[in-house]
Chain A
């Protein structure tokens, strides 16, 4: 058994979970650049990716500060390997098609907005400040992804089919958001962050309402893939993403860009 984490070590893990989510999702969304179905979506996707990367700078910047090893947000983003990442599996799955990309965005935005709402009253002022700033962006992300999920779910039979397939594929990745562990317990005890399990009811209400408007059916199985936010077992997809994202930093160590 490893020794229990110190308060700062637990805080770093929590911050990595926040920052890795936005980093990896921002990366995935940025893969769309120039390839989306309509010009307005190119703009919206780039804008979303840009917000998420900006949020990453804040979360990973704070993680690096708390860690106190002289690292930067870039060091954390570009020089860790798969097993050191703490993002939800949901955000690392490939884009596949526009439907899956927007459904993934919606399922994440719904959790993200609820989580940030709680973090705004965090006992850690630095976290509360990041949450206050980013929650405004995320409110817009949620409005847009929810509208798009409804528009495509309740669009043509073909678009409905794409969205139902996306939901069926992604739903098993939702449960991981609400699994609490000892890091979460430490955050709750310090008044830094809410217990993930406690967010489920609000999430189900919000997601249920939007998916009903979208005429989509939530899969019955509550099975949840896990291992992203603990780092125990990521998907095979993350390694390929990092190979691309980290290539320059890895190939030319020590260079300044």
Chain B
């Protein structure tokens, strides 16, 4: 889940138009960019899609951290392909957001000055090679659980972007599992790396779904608009239920002593993440927040001359073409 705690906007539009809009959504119709939509729907979507896009972009950094240290040519190629996909996801999502009347540059500025967020997960460090497996398997695995239902979201461009993204994400999750499996079945040192990665990333992965529904104030309106399709707790439980048997299959220790099969519920019980830590990360105090934003700001600032240069050249070229005609 790459969008968390997205504040849903109250709406003050004409009640008749609102009712007709809600009826379209309830009938399963897709809302397209030129259709009438409530101000709050537009604003909420910009925030959510923008946050999702930013997560794809910032998400390149923890994986980029290991591209130059990938242990084989094949692993390096796979990781490059994956990170390239993520940049591509960012691109589709920014394009989807642009259909709502906000430019990619505006969204970028809001990321860089801290007005917009990205997923909390990318504020955690990647410390050993098994993290590349764990990020694909757990982090992309968690993202897929959120994104699969979003393929049915009410806003057409977002839904279509999600369909493309989901195809690639399932490859990411599979390669992640394959990478960590190789380590879990490898030498004692490799197994130790795999265990360390699972222990460190388990709770941050659970936090990706956002706070418990009881504490989530933004869900109701977004769910009515089909911008949000499931509650945070539903998705988190699904993630735990699918992942615990995988950890056991790998022969790794469970990262949480609170994980126990609950016969009555037909699901695993698990310990709550430390939500105080989550809110610290959201506020900017995660282990990597400052470094991640600094890296993005530096890339943007250092790249200014490149963007200016290419734009100036495109204008000269257009002017020369006009002059020649």
Contact = CB atoms under 8 A, between A and B. Distances in A.
A39 B90 CA distance: 8
Given A34-B83, A152-B313, A257-B75, A158 B308 contact: yes
Contacts of B316: 154
A50 B77 contact: yes
Instruction: Classify the interface of chain A: helix, strand, loop or mixed.
Output: helix
B72 A257 contact: yes
A27 interface: yes
B223 interface: no
Contact of A57 (B70, B77, B129): B77
A172 interface: no
B76 A159 contact: no
Interface stretch (B160-168, B184-192, B272-280): B184-192
Interface string A162-199: 10000000000000000000000000000000000000
Interface in B69-119: 69-77, 80-81, 83-84, 87-88, 90-91, 94, 104
A98 B58 CA distance: 19
Given A35-B295, A150-B313, A244 B60 contact: no
Nearest to B74: A57
Contacts of A38: 303, 306-307
The CB with the most chain B CB atoms within 10 A, among A47, A151, A154, is that of A151
A247 B68 CA distance: 10
Nearest to B193: A252
Contacts of A248: 69-71, 129
Interface stretch (A70-78, A125-133, A135-143, A225-233): A70-78
A16 to B, nearest CB: 14
Contact of B189 (A36, A77, A255): A255
Interface in B139-182: 179, 182
A123 to B, nearest CB: 27
Nearest to A19: B73
B67 interface: yes
Contact of B77 (A37, A53, A150, A252): A53
- Chain A interface: which size bin? 35 or more
A36 B71 contact: no
A117 interface: no
A66 interface: no
A256 B87 CA distance: 29
B190 A159 contact: no
A150 B314 CA distance: 10
Contacts of B182: 256-257
A78 B305 CA distance: 36
B312 A155 contact: yes
A47 B187 contact: no
A43 interface: yes
B310 interface: yes
B24 interface: no
Interface string A36-63: 1111111100110110011011001000
Given A33-B60, A38-B303, A57-B77, A159 B83 contact: no
6 contacts: A37-B302, A38-B306, A42-B57, A74-B73, A248-B129, A257-B182
